[in-house]
Amino acid sequence: MDRKIAKSIDEYIERFPEETQQLLQEMRLMIRKAAPKAEESISYGMPTFRLGRNRVYFAGFRNHIGFYPIPSGIEAFKKELSKYKQGEGSVQFPIGEPLPLALVSRIVKFRMKQDAGKKGKGNY
């Protein structure tokens, strides 16, 4: 995979194998549908959706799709995410398994409503 930071989400996704590209596109489309007013960008080298500030990120890896709804998004859906490997503010969806798109949609909607009036570069 190319190490240069992608300038767009399309460029980012194109760098992955076909199976991973398909999952990344599914994730992107679900986030867009759940947050139609959010802006797409690249932040920290990852696809990011912003609504005043960064709300959710996602990324492709060799064995999983990373989803980053920040710690509050993980905490609010802790029980439903418990079957997936997690880090602080992140969850890993294994390649080769269907993405939990309905759950992702609910998390994205939750994150878009959080701090809705705040602007700035902060992620929390």
Domain residue ranges in the chain:
9-113
Distances (CA, A) of 71 to 26, 66, 77, 88, 106: 23, 14, 10, 6, 15
Residue 31 pLDDT: 97
DSSP 32-91: HHH-TTPEEEEETTEEEEESSSEEEEEEE-SSEEEEE-HHHHHHHTHHHHTTSEEETTEE
Say which residue the tokens 């960064």 belong to: 54
pLDDT in tens, the chain (124 residues): 556 889 999 999 999 999 999 999 999 999 999 999 999 999 999 999 998 888 999 999 999 999 999 899 999 999 999 999 999 899 999 999 999 999 999 999 999 988 665 554 444 4
Residue 122 pLDDT: 45
Per CATH, the number for 9-113 is 3.90.1150.200
Cα dihedral sign for 97, 103, 83, 89?
Answer: positive
Residue 42 pLDDT: 96
Residue 55 neighbours by CB distance under 10 Å: 26
| C-alpha closest to that of 102 among 123, 79, 80 | 80
